[in-house]
Amino acid sequence: MYSANVMIHAATNTTTGFVYADRRMGTMMDIKGLGLEHGLSGIKHLEPCRPPPFGKSGSVHRADRVSLAPMRVSDRSTSRYIPGPWVVVLFAFAVILWIGGGASRADVFGQPLVRAAAWTCLALVVLFGTTRPVRSARPVLLLLTGASLIAAIQLVPLPPGLWQSLPGRSLYNGTEAALAGPAVWRPLAIVPSTAWNALGSLIVPFVMWCLMTRVRGVGDKHFLLLLLGLVLAGMGMGMLQFAGIPLHDPLVNGGGEVSGTFANHNHFALMMACGIALVPVWVFLDGRSPGWRAPVAVGLVLFLALSIVASGSRAGTLAGIVALGCGLLMVRRPLRRTLAPYPKWVLPALIAAFITIVVGVVILSIVADRALSINRAMTIDPGQDMRHRALPTVLSMIREYFPFGAGLGSFDTVFRAHEPFNLLKPTFFNRAHDDFLEIVLDTGLAGATLLLAGFGWWLWASVRAWRAGPGADTLLARLGSVLVLLVMAASVVDYPARTPMIMALLVIAGVWLDGIPRRADASALPESAEHL
């Protein structure tokens, strides 16, 4: 008698059967039907182990036990990643957003570029995509649909009498009477052109949702790497600006500050904070030992933190601190396993060295007079900040136009009509610098309801993500939760989600956040990093 030593690797996709390796005869025999296939539906291939040792009498030892281990990604058939066509389209769209999607204004050259790219991608989806039921990221689609409906309803012309009876229209009624012109039908939005622009801007997040749901689970790791690469490219551009090199993206407005490819240094700092959250997920996403990625990650986080400080954004600094804390919290278990062989003082020492380097670079920059943005952030008087000075006026405007709102994008025009004399200045105040308040001002009760619905879904999905078991989907869902949190926190004092790049980032985060399979859809097979 003889026996063979066989190693069976379990994978997630079922195949037709097993193969028995007979080393002595050199033959291969199909043993499907022995009953094993019912218990091991995830068999992908067989890999024979070393031949069994022969004893002195020439007989074969008893066969070793059959070992069940997970199929490794390093298998020859999957060692080289070849992206599919939709992954390529998604990557190209993300790069175009990085190039021209850093401004919120409608009159910059980047807006036509990103919207043309979005419509092109949508045409590709319609012409070459297969029809499929919507199973993933439904809440994201519902929120986008709700925002589109609100914008579309605001563009429906209303009878003169109905329009004049809306809250906040008395000032404009007097203007029409003074002109003695015929009564005309007007849309709910006081400035229809800005409402049209708001509706047109939603093509970017909608196309990002279409592409993300088509590649979900196929290219997550590589898309995460691309996203991190775009953040690092923006960081490099920002550091060159900090060094005094006059780099400026011609597709966005602004300039003269450390802002990378963004028009606003606060939006740049927020993106760097999101990069800090991306780094630990990149290190531990595949479940393997971090190896060389660990020291690289420490260096990346350090440079991202320095770029935030260089931008001079106070809100960005707070976002960076939150991102660092949440990033460590997301990977606390694999990080603990990685640091287990080292003394307990290693992690506190790394954190202390990190803080020391950041503070030292800031002090050195101030002493060398190369920190104009940092000096600006330290010398701003909160009492003279227009965000605080204009807040009472903004709240008064919300009360006047509620519950129907003044119309999407109309803040600049409406604020000029309500601006008190003590706030007059040579520059204009184009945003409320609190996106939640501005959305309520623009859309009234409908927008407030949509905001509450979105916040409620984020809270529910976040609790679900942070309570889920370990796995790649769980890690991405937690990352999505953190990214949405960072954008929401920044929106309290700014308007980052009005830029196409961060608008698309919100959709990416939402798709990841909704990526944990429900119990009914969950597979009975283990995660990629767990044994069967």
Q: Which of the listed residues 24, 53, 74 is the one where a domain comes to its end? A: 74
pTM (2 d.p.)? 0.79
| Residue 232 falls inside a structural domain | yes
- One domain for residues 375 and 385: no
- Tell me the pLDDT of the chain averaged across its residues: 79
- One domain for residues 253 and 317: yes
- Indicate if the pLDDT at residue 450 is higher than 50: yes
- Indicate if the pLDDT at residue 330 is higher than 80: yes
Distance between CA atoms of residues 132 and 55, nearest Å: 61
- Max avg pLDDT among 172-176, 182-186, 264-268, 341-345: 264-268
- One domain for residues 344 and 441: no
What pLDDT does 75 receive? 42
Greater confidence (171 vs 28) lies with 171
- One domain for residues 347 and 291: yes
**188-192, 474-478, 485-489, 520-524: range with lowest mean pLDDT:** 520-524
Sequence-ordered list of residues with C-beta below 8 angstroms from that of 189, at least 6 positions apart, any chain: 154, 155, 195, 406, 407, 408, 409, 410
- Indicate if the pLDDT at residue 458 is higher than 90: yes
What pLDDT does 333 receive? 86
- One domain for residues 114 and 35: no
Mean pLDDT along residues 393-409: 92
Measured at the alpha carbon of residue 439, what is the angle toward residues 438 and 441, in degrees to the nearest 5?
Answer: 60
Distance between CA atoms of residues 316 and 338, nearest Å: 30
Which two tokens mark 15? 């195949």
Distance between CA atoms of residues 191 and 179, nearest Å: 18
What pLDDT does 28 receive? 41
Other Cβ atoms closer than 10 A to 420: 11
238's enclosing H/E stretch is helix 220-242
- Read off φ and ψ for residue 422, nearest 5 degrees: -75, -10
Q: Which of the listed residues 379, 413, 440 is the one where a domain comes to its end? A: 379
What pLDDT does 146 receive? 96
DSSP string for 257-295: SS-TTSSSHHHHHHHHHHHHHHHHHHHHTTSS--TTHHH
Which two tokens mark 432? 């409320």
| Residue 280 falls inside a structural domain | yes
Distance between CA atoms of residues 527 and 518, nearest Å: 15
pLDDT band at residue 184 under the 50/70/90 scheme: confident
What pLDDT does 38 receive? 41
| Residue burial 101-116, b: 16+ Cβ < 10 Å; e: rest | bbbbeeebebbebbbe
What pLDDT does 349 receive? 83
Mean pLDDT along residues 15-44: 39
Cα–Cα distances in Å, from 4 out to 41, 48, 59, 78?
22, 8, 13, 27
Mean pLDDT along residues 62-87: 53
> Domain of 240?
218-379
Distance between CA atoms of residues 42 and 331, nearest Å: 28
Distance between CA atoms of residues 70 and 286, nearest Å: 13
- One domain for residues 405 and 497: yes
Amino acid at 498: R
What pLDDT does 231 receive? 95
- One domain for residues 14 and 136: no
- One domain for residues 350 and 237: yes
What pLDDT does 164 receive? 86
What pLDDT does 85 receive? 87
Mean pLDDT along residues 108-117: 94
What pLDDT does 253 receive? 82
Distance between CA atoms of residues 434 and 398, nearest Å: 12
pLDDT band at residue 381 under the 50/70/90 scheme: low
- Indicate if the pLDDT at residue 299 is higher than 80: yes
* N-term to C-term CA, the chain: 30
- Indicate if the pLDDT at residue 524 is higher than 70: no
Total tally of structural domains belonging to the chain: 3
- Per-residue pLDDT of 113-163, as tens digits, reads 999 999 999 999 999 887 766 667 899 999 999 999 999 999 999 998 898
| Residue 166 falls inside a structural domain | no
Distance between CA atoms of residues 379 and 377, nearest Å: 6
| Residue 176 falls inside a structural domain | no
pLDDT band at residue 365 under the 50/70/90 scheme: low
